[in-house]
Amino acid sequence: MSMIGKTWVTAMAGVGVLLSIGALTFIVFETNNESRLRDAATATQAQSSAKDTYTGTLRILARDTERSRLALRAITADKDVVALIQLLEDAGNIAGVKVSIDAVSSGVDEEVLQSVVVSMSANGSFNEVNHLLSLVEALPAASSITQFELERENATSQNWNVQIRVRFLIENEF
């Protein structure tokens, strides 16, 4: 083989190697690009799924918050201090004891609700006083008994004295 023939073969082999390297590089870059596209699509899908989940959670929270507000309004609406005292006196009448309202104080103001604390006392048989406590505990208002003291009038008496502190939540008018 002549020198020109050898150069020609060498040149062709070099071109073949270069074409092979080019093809291999193209395949690697194309595979890498497809991988990046799949990763981007997966990330976008995950982000979309997370956004849908968050939006759904917000809708549920808004619906539940609206229901909670309606329930809260049902037990605090149209309740003022006079109405609450009337509820306590009515509970005493049902229990068969005379209720005395000893003090009314305003508690902590919150943005929507105001706390009102009513101190009351009553006297009656153990069953009557116990019945009063159960009625006060079940009032149709946002309330809780924060403290009560129950004591016998004297050692020979069948009468009991009770002092009760009830905390009410009412709508803040301001």
What mean pLDDT do residues 12-17 have?
72
Helix or strand (DSSP H, E) at 35: helix 3-76
Whether the predicted pLDDT of 174 surpasses 50:
no
Confirm if 167 and 117 have CB atoms less than 8 A apart: yes
* Two structure tokens written together for 96: 């068969």
Q: Give me the pLDDT at residue 82, please.
A: 87
pTM for the model stands at 0.56
What mean pLDDT do residues 35-61 have?
67
Residues composing the chain: 174
pLDDT, tens digit, 9 for 90 and up, residues 148-172: 999 999 888 899 999 999 988 877 6
Residue 103, C-beta contacts closer than 8 angstroms, at least 6 positions apart: 117, 118, 119
The conformation of residue 156, written as its DSSP 8-state character, comes to T
Q: How far apart are the first and last CA of the chain?
A: 108
pLDDT, tens digit, 9 for 90 and up, residues 92-146: 999 999 999 999 988 666 666 778 899 999 999 999 999 999 999 888 777 889 9
